[in-house]
Structure 1
Amino acid sequence: MNAEDLRSAQKALRERYREMPSAALVTLHAQGRIGEDISCRLETGKARTVAGMHPGVGGSGQGACPGDMLLEALVACAGVTLNAAATALGIELRGASIRAEGDLDFRGALGLSKEIPVGFQDIRLEFTLDTDASEEQVATLLRRTESFCVVSQALARPPAFTVTRGQVSA
């Protein structure tokens, strides 16, 4: 896809969403079922993955670690957004790699200290770009990527979050 194709596709969507804001609202979903060896089989509609507990909290390490999956989702979203933003800005990327790292203290997950949070304490996202773009263009590209990456925005500004109990179907 080139910049003109992307602008054209997004222009039509912008017009549609201005005319009918409800068309812009979508609900993404993921679904899973618990499995053997303290695992959860994910069914996203695109791929099947078995997630398990990290060895640092007593898991076997054979399933995909949900913490890793969160970082992978961040990298995937940031990579797609970077590519789209570069296309829209007319910035040629000969290559780009994206790396996410997150720091966890498993004492929180194991309930050893109320002062230590459960989950990530710090997350870092790094881009390595192969481009002739100026520093100003790269700065704009990274700003747009951060601003429009759905996963980074969900981490930076957490949405409302609720937990409910569904009914077992017969």
Structure 2
Amino acid sequence: MTTTPTTATTTTTRGADLAAARDEQLAAIVSATAAAVADDASRAAVQFTATGTSTGAVATDVETRQHRFVVDEPASLGGDDSATNPVEYALGAFIGCQVVTYRFWAARLGIRLDDVRVTAVGDLDVRGFFGLDDDVRAGFSEVSLDVELVGPEPAERYATLQAAVDAHCPVLDLFANPTPVRTSLHVTSA
């Protein structure tokens, strides 16, 4: 008698296969990077660039490498609401970096991770942006993350993973620590 695997079994097997393939790919990237920087730490330095041009009321067309996206504000903040606003993109960047870092460190620590879901909430008092109160900062006063990890490991393993992510997530570092910003202003007469 031949039996057909159930959908749950098939889905679990497929998820495990995808996780194994992803972990193998990430391990290869880590290995190649470690080899590249072993003799020369300067090879580890990477620089990212984004360029933006104003469009619409307050919108911006942004280019990064071969990618383009639009940043705008809702009408209540002077925009046309044609796209996600800057602080929402910042939260999205945080979420994306968390997912990447969870995937990377799960592979590095040998922790099976089938899925990652992250929600970020940022509290912002617009009095800072509008200059209505100099004692209120212009950016987020707090950011809260809700991270849901799906996988078969014991909770302690995922707590170890979270500690690794908290120590190594680049965008978490941007939010949690001061980063020097240098601005060069260039004015062209119209």
Could you say which residue in structure 1 is the equivalent of 2:94?
74
Q: 1:130: Cα distance to partner?
A: 1.6
The structure, 1 or 2, with the larger RCO (C-alpha pairs under 8 Å, 6+ apart) is 1
Q: Distance in 2 between matches of 1:99 and 1:46?
A: 27
Q: 1:8: Cα distance to partner?
A: 4.0
Which stretch has the larger CA shift, 50-59 or 88-97? 50-59
Is the contact between residue 71 and residue 100 of structure 1 (CA under 8 Å) also seen in structure 2?
Answer: yes
Q: 1:5: Cα distance to partner?
A: 4.6
How is 1:40-51 mapped onto 2 (pairs within 5 angstroms)?
40-51=60-71
Q: Does 1:90 align with 2:124?
A: no
TM-score normalised by structure 2 residue count: 0.80
Could you say which residue in structure 1 is the equivalent of 2:72?
52
- Between the aligned residues of both structures, percent identity stands at 27
Structure 2 stretches of 5 or more lacking a match? Answer: 1-20
Alignment partner of 1:28 out of 36, 44, 48 = 48
TM-score normalised by structure 1 residue count: 0.89
Q: Distance in 2 between matches of 1:4 and 1:36?
A: 45
Count the aligned residue pairs: 168
Which stretch has the larger CA shift, 120-129 or 46-55? 46-55
Alignment partner of 2:151 out of 124, 131, 144 = 131
Could you say which residue in structure 2 is the equivalent of 1:156?
176
Structure 1 stretches of 5 or more lacking a match? Answer: none
Judging changes above 3 Å, is the alpha-carbon distance between structure 1 residues 69 and 118 closer, same or farther for their aligned structure 2 residues?
A: same
Q: Distance in 1 between matches of 2:24 and 2:80?
A: 49
Is the contact between residue 38 and residue 59 of structure 1 (CA under 8 Å) also seen in structure 2?
Answer: yes
Computing the radius of gyration over CA atoms, which structure comes out larger, 1 or 2?
2
Q: Distance in 2 between matches of 1:29 and 1:153?
A: 18
Instruction: Tell me the SS of whatever aligns to 2:117.
Output: strand
Q: 1:56: Cα distance to partner?
A: 4.0
Q: Distance in 1 between matches of 2:89 and 2:82?
A: 14
Could you say which residue in structure 2 is the equivalent of 1:111?
131
Instruction: Tell me the SS of whatever aligns to 2:62.
Output: strand
